[in-house]
């Protein structure tokens, strides 16, 4: 089957998840044409360089700006408006690209990416959505989880992202009631390095920061007891009890599987990896992204960790001083999720 696969480039969780699915599709003999933006494009090109059946096209995507773990709405809007004319021209060129048209896709898969979704609509192609975000719109979490007024705003935003797709596969480690048809909840899609990792708790705490613009993070950690290994600040070095680590997938996985705990945002990918490995997580969701807060609320409700809206020194110290007793989550590989993809494609 010929597949057009769209991957949103904001945040690497979409790209790492898509890499697993694309690899599976190629192994099954499908031809996959990827459209991706930002960091997802070079990441996937490098992952599948030289693979038969794989092609990739770069598109322009939206960019979000963060400062001190807060979404900077004004700067994000200005940045996207400034880049809109060039971005539209680039995406139109890709839309009419001869190579893409020769690929003649029969189905579209989208990981929260709109360009491929609209391509599918314009060519009367079935669109399969694979992401974790649609749980906000297509399920009914209990009132204690959705008590924040921001839930309705987030629900409206997700609802208009990929409406009326052929089917929605929603990756999740929590299972609220499904309220809409054509929706299937499946376990998180995990990269091979995580599936192969063996849990061996050590004495350090892994800290992951999604944005480099957080100058107060290191001084904050220096006031806490213990050793911290920090990823995501874009620099290296040792600063008292804080070790600033360079990017390395295997290095990160090793530090994750041996961490006594993790302090990070509320992003789904790292959170699901922590839940799978049984690593306690203290989540500080990015202010302005309710999906992350929803993840963090479930994390806490299920006993896998704790959360707060800010880096609260007293609360984090208390969490690290008395970690959760242990996860009751049953780890799963990608078999169930990828089988669901195969079944849906087979039904076409």
At residue 212 the predicted structure's pLDDT band, cuts being 50, 70 and 90, is: low
Are 9 and 149 found together in one domain?
Answer: yes
Interval 117-169: pLDDT, tens: 999 999 999 999 999 999 999 999 888 777 777 788 888 889 999 999 999 99
Are 258 and 283 found together in one domain?
Answer: yes
Q: What is the CATH number of the domain that holds 165?
A: 3.40.50.2000
pLDDT at 78: 44
Residue 80 scores a pLDDT above 70: no
Give mean pLDDT, residues 237-252: 94
Are 338 and 266 found together in one domain?
Answer: no
Domain limits for position 278: 192-321
At residue 36 the predicted structure's pLDDT band, cuts being 50, 70 and 90, is: very high
Residue 241 falls within a domain, yes or no?
Answer: yes
Are 229 and 267 found together in one domain?
Answer: yes
Are 144 and 204 found together in one domain?
Answer: no
Of the ranges 10-14, 218-222, 247-251, 320-324, which one carries the lowest mean pLDDT score? 10-14
Residue 326 falls within a domain, yes or no?
Answer: no
CA 307-142-151 angle, 5° bins: 65
Distance CA 340, CA 199 (A): 28
Number of domains comprising the chain:
2
The two tokens of residue 342 are 């195969």
Q: DSSP letters of 96-154?
A: T-HHHHHH--SEEEEES-HHHHHHHHHTT--EEEEESTTHHHHEE--TTTS-STHHHHH
Distance CA 267, CA 265 (A): 6
Determine what percent of the chain falls in helix, strand and coil, rounding each to the nearest 5: 40, 20, 40
Residue 99 falls within a domain, yes or no?
Answer: yes
Q: Is 237 left (phi over 0), alpha (psi -120 to 50) or beta?
A: left
Interval 221-231: pLDDT, tens: 999 999 999 99
pLDDT, mean over the chain: 88
Are 232 and 160 found together in one domain?
Answer: no
Interval 103-113: pLDDT, tens: 789 999 999 99
At residue 75 the predicted structure's pLDDT band, cuts being 50, 70 and 90, is: very low
Total-model pTM: 0.88
Residue 68 falls within a domain, yes or no?
Answer: yes
In this structure, is the dihedral angle defined by the CA atoms of residues 48, 50, 55 and 58, taken in order, positive or negative?
positive
Q: What H or E segment, with its residue span, contains residue 2?
A: strand 2-7
Least Cα distance to 177 among 150, 148, 142 occurs for: 142
pLDDT at 148: 74
């Amino acid at each position: 089957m010929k597949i057009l696969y769209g991957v949103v480039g904001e945040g690497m969780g979409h790209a790492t998840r898509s890499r697993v699915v694309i690899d599976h599709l190629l192994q099954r003999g499908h031809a996959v044409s990827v459209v991706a933006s930002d960091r997802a494009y070079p990441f996937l090109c490098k992952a599948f360089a030289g693979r038969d059946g794989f092609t990739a096209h770069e598109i322009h995507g939206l960019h979000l700006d963060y400062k001190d773990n807060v979404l900077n709405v004004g700067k994000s809007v200005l940045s996207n408006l400034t880049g809109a004319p060039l971005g539209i021209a680039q995406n139109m060129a890709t839309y009419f690209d001869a190579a893409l048209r020769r690929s003649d896709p029969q189905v579209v898969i989208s990981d929260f990416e709109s360009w491929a979704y609209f391509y599918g609509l314009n060519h009367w192609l079935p669109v399969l959505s694979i992401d974790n975000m649609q749980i906000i719109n297509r399920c009914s979490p209990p009132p204690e989880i959705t008590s924040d007024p921001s839930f309705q705003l987030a629900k409206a935003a997700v609802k208009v992202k990929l409406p009326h797709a052929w089917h929605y596969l929603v990756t999740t480690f929590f299972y609220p009631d499904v309220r809409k048809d054509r929706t299937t909840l499946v376990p998180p899609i995990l990269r091979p390095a995580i599936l192969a990792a063996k849990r061996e708790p050590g004495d350090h705490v892994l800290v992951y920061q999604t944005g480099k613009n957080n100058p107060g993070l290191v001084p904050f950690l220096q006031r806490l007891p213990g050793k911290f290994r920090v990823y995501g600040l874009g620099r290296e070095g040792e600063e008292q009890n804080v070790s600033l680590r360079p990017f390395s997938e295997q290095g990160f996985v090793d530090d994750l599987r041996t961490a006594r705990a993790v302090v990070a945002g509320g992003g789904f990918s790292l959170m699901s990896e922590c839940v799978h490995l049984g690593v306690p997580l203290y989540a500080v969701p990015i202010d302005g992204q309710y999906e992350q807060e929803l993840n963090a609320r479930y994390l806490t409700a299920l006993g896998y960790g704790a959360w707060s809206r800010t880096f609260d020194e007293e609360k984090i110290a208390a969490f690290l001083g008395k970690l959760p007793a242990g996860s009751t989550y049953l780890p799963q590989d990608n078999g169930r999720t990828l089988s669901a993809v195969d079944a849906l494609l087979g039904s076409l």
